Chains A and B, each alone.
Chain A
Amino acid sequence: MRMGATSRRGLLAGLGALAGAPARPAAARSRYVFDARAGQLEFTARHLGVLTSTGRFEDFEAELLIDPERPLTSQVAVTVRTAAVALAYPGAVDLLRSPAFFDVERFPEARFSGRATGEGRLERFALAGELTIRGITRPHRMEARLVERRQDPALGREVAAFSAGGTLRRSEFGMTAEQAAISDEIRLTVRVRILV
């Protein structure tokens, strides 16, 4: 596993599964930096309308500006190493890295940056921003929610879990291969746990 941003801060390095304490308080909002150890970034495609397959990115860096009391003011930026795509089917990773899909040689990174629109409540709030895949940037909306917030007895700290989901059309990013076998619509899911 590569050394992520969590260790760069040198804080709470042993926690592994959590984005550590805020690096730099910014007014009421706190800045959290996390990678694949504290969060999950998945994508799901459908096949023939009845089958699904889910892959994930094992190397990404995310920065979250959030006031856990008021997540409706959140801001998020995620940078994904496209070569770190993972899908547990023989040959799938090579296919997804190939020029027809993520084209990782030419486009080593994909990005999302967005902010809460202020609409909604904790159980369901909107994030709007821009998604860049294969060098093409499109507006992208995600729906986020606070999954749970509870005291973690092992850590002696309060932990909040957020998730966000959104749908994109891969053809809008120039990824048009295998239209018959792989749905154009791809579902993105992000999960992260942070120390409040």
Chain B
Amino acid sequence: MSASSSEGWSAAQRRLHWAAALLVAAAFAIGLVMVALPLTRLLEKIIAYQAHKTLGLLVPPLVLWRLWLRARRGRPAPDPAIPAWQHRAAAATHGALYALLLAVPLLGYLAASTAPGQIETTLFLLVPVPHALPPDEALHALIRPVHQGAAWALVLLAAGHAAAALHHHRRGRGTLARMLGR
């Protein structure tokens, strides 16, 4: 395991944590809306897709930055008041969250690449992102549901993660406060 720091999370680690949380929440919500929008509301649909792709693709670089900070600087020492099994459960959840934060956008990018409709990906409607794979209907039909399922898993796991933080917070532990920098 990486080094541990008794001074809590660094400001950069905290900002990156909340940035990823906001991006994921927004991308997920927009994802639900964009799929449901009918083609008769084409402008909103086009903008929603580009916003979803833009927010989603910002996540992996931020997560890699965070993993690098964590490897270099470590994480706060575990709270001794929390039972060991809960630490193990938290560590497993964090591992899965990091993996999904990288995998869900990657799967989304591959789904967009292989989509038969060939809609370009343009970050902020400004920066074109080349698609790595050619349109492939069969592959798209395979990747898209995996992206969707993994996104739900990410959001549900993050909700559990947030519920656990609130639970500890109510019991007077510093889990949430130290991520808020207090």
Instruction: Give min CB distance, B142 to chain A, whole Å.
Output: 16
Interface size of A by Cβ–Cβ distance < 8 Å?
19
Instruction: Give min CB distance, A23 to chain B, whole Å.
Output: 36
Most chain B beta-carbon contacts within 10 A, residue among A178, A181, A182:
A181
Taking a contact as CB atoms closer than 8 A, the residue among B40, B42, B50, B128 that contacts A182 in the complex is: B42
Name B40-81 residues within 8 Å CB distance of A.
40, 42-43, 46-47, 50
Name B71-101 residues within 8 Å CB distance of A.
none
Q: Does A1 contact B (CB under 8 A)?
A: no
* Cβ B135 vs Cβ A91 within 8 A: no
- A78 cross-chain contacts in B, Cβ below 8 A: none
- B50 cross-chain contacts in A, Cβ below 8 A: 51
Given contacts A181-B42, A182-B42, contact A48 B116 (CB under 8 A): no
* Cβ B118 vs Cβ A95 within 8 A: no
Closest to B120 in A: A51
How far, in angstroms, from A91 to B125 measured CA to CA in the complex? Answer: 23
Taking a contact as CB atoms closer than 8 A, the residue among B38, B40, B122 that contacts A50 in the complex is: B122
Bitwise interface map of A from 39 to 64 toward B, beta carbon under 8 Å scored 1, else 0:
00000000110111110000000000
* Cβ B119 vs Cβ A53 within 8 A: yes
* Cβ B39 vs Cβ A95 within 8 A: yes
* Cβ B120 vs Cβ A89 within 8 A: no
Interface size of B by Cβ–Cβ distance < 8 Å?
19
Q: Does A155 contact B (CB under 8 A)?
A: no
* Cβ A54 vs Cβ B118 within 8 A: yes
Q: Does A87 contact B (CB under 8 A)?
A: yes
How far, in angstroms, from A47 to B43 measured CA to CA in the complex? Answer: 8
Q: Does A90 contact B (CB under 8 A)?
A: yes
How far, in angstroms, from A99 to B125 measured CA to CA in the complex? Answer: 30
Taking a contact as CB atoms closer than 8 A, the residue among A47, A52, A92 that contacts B39 in the complex is: A92
Closest to B46 in A: A47
Q: Does B126 contact A (CB under 8 A)?
A: yes
How far, in angstroms, from A61 to B168 measured CA to CA in the complex? Answer: 72
Q: Does B117 contact A (CB under 8 A)?
A: yes
* Cβ B117 vs Cβ A92 within 8 A: yes
Q: Does A154 contact B (CB under 8 A)?
A: no
Bitwise interface map of A from 86 to 112 toward B, beta carbon under 8 Å scored 1, else 0:
011111101100000000000000000
* Cβ B125 vs Cβ A50 within 8 A: yes
* Cβ B118 vs Cβ A53 within 8 A: yes
Given contacts A88-B135, A181-B46, contact A50 B120 (CB under 8 A): yes
How far, in angstroms, from A181 to B118 measured CA to CA in the complex? Answer: 16
Q: Does A180 contact B (CB under 8 A)?
A: yes
How far, in angstroms, from A88 to B117 measured CA to CA in the complex? Answer: 4
- A51 cross-chain contacts in B, Cβ below 8 A: 46, 50, 119-120, 122
Name A96-135 residues within 8 Å CB distance of B.
none
* Cβ A48 vs Cβ B46 within 8 A: yes
- A182 cross-chain contacts in B, Cβ below 8 A: 42
A-B contact pairs, 20 of them (CB 8 A): A48-B46, A48-B47, A48-B125, A50-B120, A50-B122, A50-B126, A50-B128, A51-B46, A51-B50, A51-B119, A54-B118, A88-B116, A88-B118, A88-B137, A89-B119, A92-B39, A95-B40, A178-B43, A181-B43, A181-B46
Which chain B residues have a beta carbon within 8 Å of chain A's beta carbons? 38-40, 42-43, 46-47, 50, 116-120, 122, 125-126, 128, 135, 137
- Not counting A89-B116, A89-B119, A91-B38, a sample of 10 additional A-B residue pairs whose C-beta atoms are within 8 angstroms of each other reads A48-B46, A48-B47, A50-B120, A51-B46, A51-B119, A51-B122, A53-B117, A53-B118, A92-B117, A178-B43
